[in-house]
Structure 1
């Protein structure tokens, strides 16, 4: 006899699988598996990039920066979204599963405040397993969860108990976020309590980049000090474009881009870093990928490569 109160069937997105044959193609661009970082940034560690000491820690700081993977999905006209603040689905089922595979292969996942505000993301991995007889690809099983990192210099992300990333952490399906805010910015105490209740926290950092942004070397230095060996940078447009500028792309170890078979049209959020000029005033050499692999995934195509130095 059927139950009068049947349990709801978990949505398919909670049990994603990814073909191990494809994982084997992508894995060379990814960091080697690493142990999980500490649960929260230690209160003993300074976040002033000019200060290279800790207040109570006696062990030598880890100054090597994390492996940085820049990854995102865009349309045929290089658009990430129809308009600023508009959540736009681009990835098909196969490339979405790849995204969750990538998350499971990194110690942290980083987005900007605009993405946190517009998308209310969970920032966890829902990968169940890899498909196929390829153990060398790194069978996940129960995925390692990345530490969410949100760059929010002005503390404008109104995180609360209903935010997806908070719910994910509360249910034990992911980790709570570290939210980087500019030193001196007053953080709402209610938001702070929400984050700390699930194991996250606000991390003050000097915003010495252009237009009140953080400098990438400062962000990566803090993550390294906290034991984060790899970070997957997922968006949004401002973050991606800043990493493709000359001052940013020096920190990028690999690039993985999903290209969706659609045009979003003019007025969208576009991946197009500003042009730079050399000392003679002529345009600088364009940013180009090398060591390239193309991987068809369903109707999408995934491009993997490394920035040519």
Structure 2
């Protein structure tokens, strides 16, 4: 249905004269008549009775009027729903306990007026696809390779990694570690799914420093993994410095820092170059500062800053 014809009908019904409707709409009276006639053909009924005194609604016209007004109200709501800044900014953070969620919380504290809609997509490929397709406005991800035309990636955090062990692990007593200390050992990471950006990162880290990643057993989640670390003195895993974990005091798990170099997980903010949501610009500006990369190992993405194509 032609909404301009519907709009013309509603204005004409309110004014009672086609000429007054033409003046209100800033079109000619002939244009008003043509739109009304087209709408009547579409509905297969007469909406007005034309008289010397003006235009009077027929019974069908009176019946149609509230529906016509509802159509125009729906049009206004539909336009408002996608107007830049009228909806919440939708951002993917992987998971609520990981560093990107903390980054977004910091942004929200600095910009409490920005309405946020949080997404947690399963891994980098669907997250980047969602940004490209406009299903999310931005995503925090590690960038492996090129993104393709129209997307921008800004390095926002090099998050130091730690080794997480139970109290009986051979390395549990260390004040700090070097990656060379892991040579020949296995790091237990059942959540390292093949094809994910974090699996690629940890495989590259393991190859560079002579240890292996053990993905044995199904991934039953963090609680089961923490149970396994506490119970098995041979198991250790990597965690990000800003990863939020809670475990029973009796577990006595240890988080041990690395030095010289410090392995860091490179988080980037990915967004479309042509996305005009005003809050997205504020999000990008919030993370516009340089990212320190002194004495760290972050794999193929060692150069911080903006990447786009």
Q: Which has the higher contact order (CA 8 A, sep 6+)?
A: 1
TM-score range with shorter-chain normalisation? under 0.3
Which protein shows a greater Rg?
2
Between structures 1 and 2, the one with greater helix share: 2
